[in-house]
Chain A
Amino acid sequence: MSSNLAIAMHVAKKELRVQIGYRNKFIADVLSHVIGIVPILLITLALSGSSLNDIDGITRANALFVFLGYAAFMAFGFGTPIMIYTGMAWGISEELQTGTIERNFLAPVSRHTIVAGIGIYYACLYAFHVTTLMILAFFLFPSTAEIPVGNLAVAGTAALGLIALSAGLGLSSAAMFLMIRDGSLFLLFVHRPFMILSGAIFLIELLPGPLKLIALVNPVAYGVDAFRWAFSGHGTLEDPWLEVGIVWAGALVAAIVGVIVLGRVIRRQSRTGELSRI
């Protein structure tokens, strides 16, 4: 029997084919992050009273600071349907509506693998978004300063940690979609707080007390901060490597919780009949 990874990659490839089949949606998914950065840039520039052509060093640094946060956060940010952890859930939701999830679950492979395969597609989309945003950042905010290898290592491990964390959360969100068949509550009470309290858009230092406390237990915030530090030299929370550790610890917890929750939901729905009620 093929390995779970091979099967998951196969599912991801199918997901890509299906998404390309919805051409307009696919184009929107691929480009939405670029559109999403525009208001961030405009707000940053407006606040500093400058334009891109004549920004001084401090404003450029500020803009880069915000931009990098956005880049790190992209998977959790504005393009809701294209992010990993909601994406995985959306994938499940779409398959529930079309009726194909049932057919997939009839195959002699782990049902987690099927869900994870859908997540891999969205993970690749996330990686593409972050990469293109980084390239864009270097064009918009050219810097002559050399970035130390250690900083690149922090950025890389933080980005990978965010992907892993997203995948873990993705399993939980997929379970939630399977369970309640509706993404609106999830988006409102889980996704939005994660986004707002990550420091990507609103700096954690500027948040009011209770929200700041909540933000500090959000592992995403540390990934964003570490990523930002790697390229701008400015961080506001902890030591960057400690932050990377927190992100990976969060990813591990999220993966364990995700696997357990998804397994329980599938099992429960096999009993109630929800798994195959379309």
Chain B
Amino acid sequence: MIEVKNLRKEFKQNRADAGLLRMLFGRVPSETVTALEDVTFNVEEGEFYSLLGRNGAGKTTTIKVICTLLLADSGTVTVGGHDVERESSSVRAMLGVSIRGERSVYWRLSGRQNLAYFGRLYDVKGAALRNRIEEIGEIVGLSERLDDYVERYSMGMKQRLAIGCALIHRPRVLLLDEPTIGLDAASARDFRDFISHELRARENVTILYTTHYMHEAEEMSDRIGIVNHGRIVAEGTPSKIIGMVPGNSVVTIDAKNAVNIDLSTLSALDSIERVHAESLDSGSSKIRIEAVVGTEVPVADVVHRLTSLGAEIGNLSVSRPTLEDAFLRLTAD
């Protein structure tokens, strides 16, 4: 549905450290910043694809090129087979976009007036528009507040209205740029539930989502593209991304009577990469067992061996690498 190939974009930025006189009368020195170095990815129809990256990694620039607000220096982008530069109008008709959500709606109009205004720009009118407004109100959970001025909405409600405006013309593709920024934890959770359950279930749209919140991307995405310095450095399902870096499953055990146990009996088990033990002041031991990358520690076997060697198992915890671990490794400079 979305094909992005070898996208490159540079910006010239004026430097802020020029002298006052030079800023007033001279040519302000500028520097070239590469926002997108070489971005290539595809989003399939019906897929939820997240672009994950640090601030300034190039996520929003990519979205802006796709939605025709920005022209790329080189590379191609097509949406539903339409080129974003040559067939921008067709592309815009297919897209629903929410960039800087709460600021993209008119605060001095009501929610209903906003929906009606944007609907008409997309050629939705008459009874179809009225019905769609009611439907959208229900989808975004604003039915009761549609006739209130937007300025009275909470930030989360404004975000939802912005998405409602993006959905008004039944777009085939929805671009959401960091929609949960500024939301409190509860609102962000509600918002994710809304995206995952209401939106995907009812509208069946392809979604391209940008965020720098790992848990959001992991929770909602079919696939993730990790952007760093204007390049996609990793791409795949969340579990595939997690498996890409040398993090592994780790089991930590507090055990009594384990000081003299030969740990090589644990190392000999399949999937065990490393075993480390340290004695605690209490007389017990803390044993840390790391699995080979991409595998799990065979907890039952480990417990069986330890108890058969006379150890008494106290606390046992299992931890796995997270998307955040993978992200930090993949985007490390």
Chain A residues with a Cβ under 8 A of chain B: 1-2, 7, 10, 14, 17-18, 21-22, 98-100, 102-109, 267, 270-273, 275-276, 278
Q: Which residue of A lies closest to B88 (CB)?
A: A108
Q: Which of B101-109, B133-141, B280-288 contacts A (4 or more CB under 8 A)?
A: B101-109
Q: Are A2 and B108 in contact (CB under 8 A)?
A: no
Q: Any chain A CB within 8 A of the CB of B125?
A: yes
A108 in contact with B117 given A98-B103, A278-B100 (CB within 8 Å): no
Between-chain CB contacts (< 8 Å), 7 pairs: A14-B113, A99-B104, A106-B69, A107-B118, A108-B92, A272-B12, A276-B70
B interface, size bucket? 20 to 34
Q: Which of A7, A10, A106, A109 contacts B67 (CB 8 A)?
A: A106
Query: In the complex, what residue of chain A is closest to B151 when comparing beta carbons?
Result: A21
Within 8 A of A (CB), among B1-27: 11-12
What 7 pairs across the A-B complex have the smallest Cβ distances?
Answer: A21-B108, A99-B103, A107-B121, A103-B104, A108-B93, A108-B92, A276-B69
A102 CB contacts on chain B under 8 angstroms: 69, 99-100, 104
Are B120 and A10 touching (Cβ within 8 A)?
A: yes
Whether B333 is near chain A, meaning CB under 8 Å from some CB there, is no
Bound Cα distance A100, B99 (Å): 10
In the complex, whether B123 has a CB less than 8 A from a CB of chain A is yes
Q: Which of B216-240 contact A (CB under 8 A)?
A: none
* Least Cβ–Cβ distance between B133 and chain A, in angstroms: 15
Interfacial chain A residues near B61, Cβ < 8 Å: 273
Separation of A17 and B113 alpha carbons in the complex (Å) = 9
Residues of chain B in range 264-319 having any CB-CB distance to chain A below 8 Å: none
Residues of A within 8 A of B125 (CB): 2
Whether, in the assembled complex, B77 has its beta carbon less than 8 Å from a beta carbon of chain A, the answer is: no
Query: Bound state CA distance, A12 and B156, in angstroms?
Result: 29
Most chain B CB within 10 A, of A10, A103, A109, is at A103
Structural contact, B123 and A21, CB atoms closer than 8 A: no
Cβ contact within 8 Å between A275 and B69: yes
Whether B12 lies near A104 (C-beta < 8 A) is no
- Chain A residues lying within 8 Å of B71, measured Cβ to Cβ, are 267, 270-271
Which of B69, B107, B109, B113 has most chain A Cβ within 10 Å? Answer: B69
Inside 8 A of A109's CB, which chain B residues have their CB?
A: 89, 121
A21 and B104 contact, CB distance less than 8 A: no
